[in-house]
Structure 1
């Protein structure tokens, strides 16, 4: 089983998070790509580009899309792609979410999407003041 991973984010956030997680883990166990949506991006053109990326990433088990902020242009593109039953979309991308996903490459698409959501939530904690 091999799920593809597509990060659709503002500017280079997705690429930077993917690079950071790969360095932390020593490798990226999933076929992964990042799509940067800039202020000058044409959403329709980026949607077509994202569809091509999904075709490249989907090896038969589906593609998980992680996007940074629900309701934004990147997430609107991701949600349009999520209408495909072989695509799952989770918004709120952060580094803990991404690391959680990369730590469970063997999971099916639905379960991996659940891991993404829980990983993102668990990674948000109030920090105690320093001593």
Structure 2
């Protein structure tokens, strides 16, 4: 058995990231569901949907919930459902984070949460460039 993953994001962010990850990896090795949040969504209905999805995903190893932005509706819903046992939440979802999670399907919920955070952090960096602006040469 593996940890389930629930992605809760604004609009199509979650679907787009998962499509890209599947293209890169060839498949999705974890049980995964996406909850799409729109302006028209009702928070109570979203909370019920999230709970149902978590119950479906949790095969005894827990569920990792990934959201796009802390303090927003998706993360608020995730934090609400995290009161359930065996649910952990990581915000700031990006492609490196998702790839990291999908590359370690056999980890425990705690270890997979750590991989998600490290993947997200390590995937953000300032890239050196060879082009300089006129201000840089003064």
Q: How many residue pairs end up in the alignment?
A: 131
Instruction: Report the counterpart of residue 2 of structure 2 in structure 1.
Output: 2
Deviations 1:55-108 (A, max 9, x none): 111111110000000000000000001112210100000000000000000000
1:114 CA drift (Å): 0.6
Which ranges in structure 2 are unaligned for 5 or more consecutive residues? Answer: 132-138
Instruction: Report the counterpart of residue 87 of structure 1 in structure 2.
Output: 87
Instruction: Report the counterpart of residue 54 of structure 1 in structure 2.
Output: 54
Q: TM-score of the superposition, structure 1-length normalised?
A: 0.97
1:1-131 equivalences under 5 Å are: 1-130=1-130
1:128 CA drift (Å): 1.7
The separation in 2 between residues aligned to 1:118 and 1:125, in whole angstroms, is 13
Task: Extract structure 1 runs of 4+ deviating beyond 2 A.
Answer: none
Q: TM-score of the superposition, structure 2-length normalised?
A: 0.92
Which ranges in structure 1 are unaligned for 5 or more consecutive residues? Answer: none
Higher alpha-carbon Rg: 2
